Every structure is written in structure tokens, then in C-alpha cells.
Structure 1
């Protein structure tokens, strides 16, 4: 009884000390940048300092494992992205945690599309032009990605499965070298994050063919979505979410979710996310939980088609 009373008291007084955001990526990347932006806003709402801690390695699983083993008291939270949560787990034969049950979803923070870009010398005006060329020359058309198992790789595999084309995957260690080779003509097309591709599009070095989410990008409003371009069922990209360890008390989840609603309603936060090529997400913790499981199953199927090797 005493333990239950103390637990209820602790939850009622949450938070009464600093909170950790564990980010499974290195400092400086989009996940880390977004986490620090949200941490400042959430800390202001809760009246506590939120410290961002980068735990990198093994495709994000090291940081996520640390959160899965943390106390479910709301003082250690996970700020992660689509890749480590719903793609990378399918590349491992075993993990020290169950990706589907190890975490308590709190808030889907933002979603960011990719953009399909092509070398201008290919003279492609639309996605259908690309499909036609790929069907005329099976295995000849190539697409770059920023790594095996990355969002860009899986977007390419989803494109192949929905259109029936045979295109060659050329992985790179990051976005920049892939873009350089598409611009140089060594590779034909690439799925890349909007903010990375945008300067090259504006300079006329790349041709944008489609946005990979169901709504157009505010940074590229004239570029159609994949569905508008005739590829039904195509939805890919990345997203950012806030989660806690399994068993996080409902009262803590509710408090954090309500505070996050206020953070995400802030115009300055919204403008900062848009500048990163992302749009603020909407929904409850339950909505996020359903979305997460659907994404996990979806990308598991695509990863199987792609033949990701278990490690």
C-alpha cells in the first residue's frame, strides 16, 4: 500500500526534476535538431530542464535499448525517428528489446516527406516518364539512397513494388554524396529529404518529380505528391516521435501529451519545423500508438522485399 501511495504521490508531482531526452542519432542531424527544439519548448511548458543525450550506434538501437530499460517514471524519454523505430529492427535477427512493445507512445511530433529528384539531362518531366523509362530499360535506371535500410532505400523499394519496375539501388554513406552523383549523372534519380535537395532544385541542377507523403511540401508547393502523380498507395518519408519506456503511467502520458500540444501550437516551433522540411503532426497518444504499429508492419514487409540482411 505504501509503495502504491508513494507512486501516486510521485506521479501527482511530476515533474519535479530534470528530464532526459535520449536521441539515438549523433548531434547535428535532423532528429537531434528537432529533439533540441522540442526539448526547449517542452521544458518551458513543464517548468523543468530537459537534457538531450545522444546515444548512437547500431542503427539507433543502442539508444532505444537504453530507454527500454529505464524506469517508467517519465524522467527518461526517447526522441526518435521512423528509421530506428520501424525500419532498422527488421535488419536484425534479434534485439535486446521488442520494438513493438518496449515503448509507450506519447506524441507523434512531425512528419517529413522525401522528394524524388532526377538528373536534368534525363529529360524526365514526371514520375510516369520515369516509370516508362524503367520499364523500357529494366535494371538500367538507378536510384541513390543515403544507406542500406534508410528511408530513401525503402522508399525506392516501395516504388519498385507499386510500379513493377526494375531499378538498381546504389547506396551511399549519407545524402550529400548521393546527390553529388545524381547531379553528376553517375546515378539517375534519388529519394532525398526536401531541405537537402531544395538548393540544388532551385539552382536547376536537379528536377523534382514528386513528394512522397499524401500532402505537398510547403517548401516545394508546386511539386505533386506520388499519389497525384499516379502512384496509388505510395506514402513514405520520415517522422519524429516522443516515447517513454513500457508501462509509463497514464497520468504522465496525459500530462506530457497535453504539454506537447501547446509546444506544437507555437508558431515559432511550427516555422522552425517547416524550415526543416517537416510538418507538425496531430493526434493523441492512442493515435500515435496505432500509427507506429501500422508503420512497423508496413516497413517490415518492404524490408523483406528489399532483402535486408539480418545481423
Structure 2
């Protein structure tokens, strides 16, 4: 499949590059996923797929630019679920309305987080962390990709359900937050398993627990939060996903062709193997599947985010 075949009116004989926007800084997990997909997708489309980082405003800057773009398939958004399911609940001025202003194109991946802590802290397990936090209320801090991000709210949910008090320090992406966990400027953070694993294997941070209901194959020795035996953490299950979106007004034909190209890219053996190694779960399907999951989780997070407002 080539871009010319996908949209004759938009692409000449020499296909134009496709911009794949990412709402976070380079080096973080969303950027990593987008860059892996871009290489495989370029082969399927017969045109370059160029990743552009547009961090800021809970990743809504990238989404807003896509929402304003021409619906010709040349500008797409590699979106992480928080911007579509959490941000609409917490931002006082959401620059676009996801269901109204975007076209779902394809689901890509689902993932879970791992709670990691600075190596110098005197706890190694969830129970030890909770006991320490109760003895030192307000002394522990956790970073996130921003107010209202999934790892902010995941850590907030953890602290509430375990009955502890921690200070939230927001960043413009996971990568700078991880840097400060390693350096000791903050105590801990929840990070996507795919990117946190290299820091764990390099012994730069200590893994406390994963946020999935079962242990992750990439970190088999790291327990789940639910395994801690703490009553409030029973059944703890907080994850996220990535999907590709385009501007509103994209034709059904173009959307379907891009969906098929993305699905084919994700099925390329090298990419499928690499994503599995990184701890991601394959999530393939039609655009409607993406729309339905976003709507369901947007309603779910609305019950958790009450009182949180991002200007």
C-alpha cells in the first residue's frame, strides 16, 4: 500500500511524508512507541513517517494541532489514553473535544506501569513503603508526566487506597521525572514498564510493584500492588493504551486504509517481537474499538478526578 493509493487527491507520485505527532518529550515511553511504529508504518505506506514531539498542556498541544489539520492523512496523532480519557475531566480549557474534533484511526498497544523508587530510600516493598510513608507523612514525593496524567492519577489512587500522604511533582513527560527519581530530587514515580525496565535492569531505580492484576512477563520478579496484602490495594488494576487519531472529516475510505496499514505494521514480525520484549500488549482492531474504549474510560476517570483542575 502506498500513500498515493490511500488518498489520490492528497498525494502525488512522490508521496509526502506523514507527520506523526507525540504530545510528550523525546525519550519517554509514548515517543518510544511512536518511533517504533513509524519505521514499520513507513514500509506499509511507502512514504516517510516522521515523528514530531509537541510536549505541553497534558499533551493537548499535539492533539489540538491534529484537530486543526487538513483531513488528508498527512497529520496524525500518536495519542496516549490520558489525553483522551483524563484531560477532558480535569482541564479547565480543553483546546479540543476528542469525540467531536478527531477521527479514531487505529488502536495500537495497551500497557501497565511499574512503581519505581530512588535507590537510596529505606524501603523495597509496597508494605515497607506504606509503613514508611505513615511514619513520615508528606515527606515522600512522586513524579508524573503532568497533572491529570495516568501516572499522576494512578499514584494518587495508590496513595488513597493505601492510606498514605505523598506530594505530587508534575513534569512535561515521564523522561524528566525519571531523571529526578534517579537523582533523588523526588522519591518515586509510576512509569510505563517498557521504558522503566532499562532503568531497573541498570539498577538505577528500585522496582516496588507493577499496577497490573498479574505479574508482567518482562518483570517476572516484581510483585503486583495487589500482592502486598494491603486491604485497600486488593484488585488494583490501572493501565493505559496508545492509539492513532486523525483530524475530523477524514473520509471513511482513507481511515480504513490507514487502519489496515497500521495493523499490518504492528504485525510485522520484528516490530511485534520488539513490542513484546518491551512489555507491551498488542491491541489491534477497527477505529470503533478505539472510540468505545476512550468513551468508557473517560466516564470511569470522571469519578476519580473530582476536585482536580488543570488551568
Where on the TM-score scale, by shorter chain, does this alignment land: which range? 0.7 to 0.9
The alignment status of 1:291 with 2:293, answered yes or no, reads yes
Shift of 1:105: 1.7
1:141–1:168 Cα contact (<8 Å) kept = yes
Distance 2:62 2:186 in 1: 34
- The equivalent residue for 1:8 is none
Cα contact 2:142–2:166 (8 A) shared by 1: no
Counterpart CA distance in 1 for 2:51 and 2:169 is 34
Gaps of 5+ in 2: none
SS at match of 1:51: strand
Structure 1 residues 76-155: aligned runs within 5 Å: 76-118=75-117, 124=123, 126-134=125-133, 136-137=134-135, 139-140=137-138, 142-149=140-147, 150-155=149-154
Pair 147,60 (structure 1): closer, same or farther in 2 beyond 3 Å: closer
> Per-residue deviation at 1:295?
2.6
Q: Give the structure-1-normalised TM-score.
A: 0.78
Say if 1:127 and 1:210, in contact at 8 Å, map to a contact too: yes
Which residue matches 1:157?
Answer: 156
Query: 1 CA distance for matches of 2:213 and 2:252?
Result: 32
> CA contact under 8 A between 2:21 and 2:76: conserved in structure 1?
yes
Deviation at 1:157, TM superposition (A): 0.8
C-alpha deviation, 1:198, in angstroms: 3.4
Deviation at 1:265, TM superposition (A): 1.5
Q: Alpha carbon RMSD of aligned pairs, Å?
A: 3.2
How far is the alpha carbon of 1:212 from its aligned partner? 1.4
**What are the Cα deviations for residues 187-223 of structure 1, in whole angstroms up to 9, with x where unaligned?**
5543233355435544556442321134433321222
State the partner residue of 2:6: 14
Distance, in Å, in 2 between the alignment partners of 1:50 and 1:160 is 40
Over 3 Å counting, the alpha-carbon distance change for 1:289 and 1:172 in structure 2 is closer
Q: TM-score, normalised by structure 2?
A: 0.78
1:154 offset after TM fit, Å? 1.5
Q: Structure 1: which 5+ residue stretches go unaligned?
A: 1-10
Partner residue, 1:226: 225
Matched length = 295
